[in-house]
Amino acid sequence: MKTNRREFIKSMNWALAGIMGLLGFGSCKGTLEYGSPHADYTVKGKVVNKANGKPIEGIRVGYDGRGGVMYGPPPAPYGPKASVITNAKGEYKITDRFFPVKNQKLPVYVEDIDGTTNGLFQSETLQVDFSDAKHSGKSSHWYEGEYTVNLDVELTEIEPEIIID
């Protein structure tokens, strides 16, 4: 009697495997993808002196990894964020890759790093709104293209402290 049960179970297994193979349950079709959604975010513009409108050279502009509202997990503290130095015309362009930030803002810092060479200016952290950004680039799989915002920045000049010994 035991052999009949075993033979019955084996024959049922073979029959079910055959039916599932005919119906297409033997394999799942589809592309296996690893990663997460991301897009390139570009901020470009000009940094000028608020008092006289002249361009400022030597100002560092970059994405701030120190805080701010972002979609997704916060960036790792050891992960470098994009930054650039303004040229003689005060122009800059920074691009970095983030999780999509739909209708949210990314923090961008603007700081004078050359000391009194071109004047001394107050640092600022700006919240750049990408909700009306210009979209370009072809989206494919996880990549959503590039979003660009034009942002001109006016910095306030400050007087250097003079220390007399």
* Sign, Cα dihedral of 51, 52, 56, 61: positive
Over 90: is that where the pLDDT of 150 sits? yes
Distance CA 129, CA 69 (A): 11
CA 120 to chain CA centroid, nearest Å: 30
* pLDDT tens sequence across 52-109: 999 999 999 998 764 444 444 444 444 567 889 999 999 999 998 888 776 778 889 9
Q: Which residues contact 50 (CB under 8 A, 6 or more apart)?
A: 154, 155, 156, 157
* Domain positions in the chain: 1-29, 38-155
* pLDDT tens sequence across 31-56: 556 677 888 889 999 999 999 999 99
- The pLDDT score that the predictor gives to residue 117 is 81
Contact 108, 151 (CB under 8 A): yes
- The pLDDT score that the predictor gives to residue 34 is 67
* Sign, Cα dihedral of 84, 85, 86, 88: negative
Tell me which fold the domain 38-155 belongs to: Immunoglobulin-like (2.60.40)
- The pLDDT score that the predictor gives to residue 144 is 87
- Please state, in angstroms and as integers, the Cα–Cα distance from residue 79 to each residue in 21, 57, 58, 93, 121, following that order: 48, 26, 23, 20, 27
Q: Rounded to two decimals, what is the model's pTM?
A: 0.67
- The pLDDT score that the predictor gives to residue 69 is 42
* pLDDT tens sequence across 106-148: 889 999 888 778 888 999 999 999 888 898 888 787 888 899 9
- The pLDDT score that the predictor gives to residue 124 is 92
